[in-house]
Amino acid sequence: MTDQFSKKGEAWSARFSEPVSDLVKRYTASVFFDKRLAMFDIQGSLAHADMLAAQGIISAQDLADIERGMAQIRAEIEAGQFEWLLDLEDVHLNIEKRLTELVGDAGKRLHTGRSRNDQVATDIRLYVRAAIDDILVQLKALRSALVDLAERHADTILPGFTHLQVAQPITFGHHMLAYVEMFGRDAERLLDARRRVNRLPLGAAALAGTTFPIDRERVARTLGFEDVCHNSLDAVSDRDFAIEVTAACSLLMMHVSRMSEELILWMSPRVGFIDIADRFCTGSSIMPQKKNPDVPELARGKTGRVFGHLTGLLTLMKGQPLAYNKDNQEDKEPLFDTIDTVIDTLRIFADMATGISVKPAAMRAAALQGYATATDLADYLVKKGLPFRDAHEAVARAVRACDSAGCDLAELPLERLREFSDLIGEDVYAVLTLEGSVAARDHVGGTAPNQVRAAIARVRAQLAG
Residues annotated as part of the active site: 163, 284
Question: Residue 31 or residue 193: which is nearer to ligand ARG going by CB?
Answer: 31
Residues 397 and 420: their CA atoms lie apart, in Å, by 7
Residue 30 binds ligand ARG (CB under 6 A): yes
Range in contact with ligand ARG (rule: CB under 6 A) among 46-54, 131-139, 320-328, 358-366: 320-328
Residue 451 binds ligand ARG (CB under 6 A): no
Kindly state the helix (H) or strand (E) to which residue 260 belongs, with its residue range. Answer: helix 240-267
Q: How far is the CB of 348 from ligand ARG (least distance, A)?
A: 30
DSSP 11-47: TTGGG-SSPPPHHHHHHH--HHHHGGGHHHHHHHHHH
Q: How many residues bind ligand ARG (CB under 6 A)?
A: 10
Range in contact with ligand ARG (rule: CB under 6 A) among 196-204, 218-226, 310-318, 322-330: 322-330
Range in contact with ligand ARG (rule: CB under 6 A) among 116-124, 188-196, 363-371, 386-394: 116-124
The only residue of 41, 90, 186, 238 in contact with ligand ARG, by rule CB under 6 A? 90
Range in contact with ligand ARG (rule: CB under 6 A) among 18-26, 114-122, 129-137, 434-442: 114-122
Q: Which residues pair with residue 168 across a beta bridge? A: 160
Kindly state the helix (H) or strand (E) to which residue 368 belongs, with its residue range. Answer: none
Residues 183 and 291: their CA atoms lie apart, in Å, by 28
Reduced to 3 states (helix: H, G, I; strand: E, B; else coil), residue 2 is coil
Q: How far is the CB of 323 from ligand ARG (least distance, A)?
A: 10
Residue 329 binds ligand ARG (CB under 6 A): yes
Question: Residue 125 or residue 153: which is nearer to ligand ARG going by CB?
Answer: 125
What distances in angstroms separate CA 343 from CA 135, 261, 335, 337, 355, one per listed residue? Answer: 6, 19, 12, 10, 19
Sequence-distant (6+) residues with CB within 8 A of 388 are 378, 382
Residues 430 and 382: their CA atoms lie apart, in Å, by 16
Question: Residue 198 or residue 237: which is nearer to ligand ARG going by CB?
Answer: 237
Q: How far is the CB of 37 from ligand ARG (least distance, A)?
A: 9
Binding mask 36-75 for ligand ARG (x = CB under 6 A): ----------------------------------------
CB-CB contact of 169 with 157 (8 Å): yes
Residues 216 and 339: their CA atoms lie apart, in Å, by 29
Question: Residue 245 or residue 346: which is nearer to ligand ARG going by CB?
Answer: 245
Question: Residue 233 or residue 423: which is nearer to ligand ARG going by CB?
Answer: 233
What does DSSP assign to residue 292? Answer: B
Q: Other C-beta atoms within 10 Å of 15: how many?
A: 7
Residue ranges of alpha helices (H) inside 357-426 are 360-367, 374-383, 388-405, 414-417
What distances in angstroms separate CA 252 from CA 179, 186, 217, 290, 337, one per listed residue? Answer: 10, 6, 34, 30, 15
Q: How far is the CB of 119 from ligand ARG (least distance, A)?
A: 7
CB-CB contact of 88 with 9 (8 Å): yes
Range in contact with ligand ARG (rule: CB under 6 A) among 207-215, 298-306, 325-333, 436-444: 325-333
Stretch 232-271 residues interacting with ligand ARG (CB under 6 A) = none
Question: Residue 129 or residue 174: which is nearer to ligand ARG going by CB?
Answer: 129
Kindly state the helix (H) or strand (E) to which residue 275 belongs, with its residue range. Answer: strand 274-276
Question: Residue 336 or residue 429: which is nearer to ligand ARG going by CB?
Answer: 336
Sequence-distant (6+) residues with CB within 8 A of 344 are none
Q: How far is the CB of 206 from ligand ARG (least distance, A)?
A: 7
Residues 47 and 123: their CA atoms lie apart, in Å, by 12
Residues 358 and 156: their CA atoms lie apart, in Å, by 9
The only residue of 47, 51, 102, 120 in contact with ligand ARG, by rule CB under 6 A? 120
Question: Residue 329 or residue 437: which is nearer to ligand ARG going by CB?
Answer: 329
Q: How far is the CB of 123 from ligand ARG (least distance, A)?
A: 9
Question: Residue 294 or residue 330: which is nearer to ligand ARG going by CB?
Answer: 330
The only residue of 326, 357, 422, 444 in contact with ligand ARG, by rule CB under 6 A? 326
Residues 299 and 364: their CA atoms lie apart, in Å, by 28
Residue 116 binds ligand ARG (CB under 6 A): yes
Q: How far is the CB of 115 from ligand ARG (least distance, A)?
A: 7
Stretch 158-197 residues interacting with ligand ARG (CB under 6 A) = none
The only residue of 328, 338, 373, 451 in contact with ligand ARG, by rule CB under 6 A? 328
Positions that interact with ligand ARG (CB under 6 A): 30, 34, 90, 116-117, 120, 324, 326, 328-329
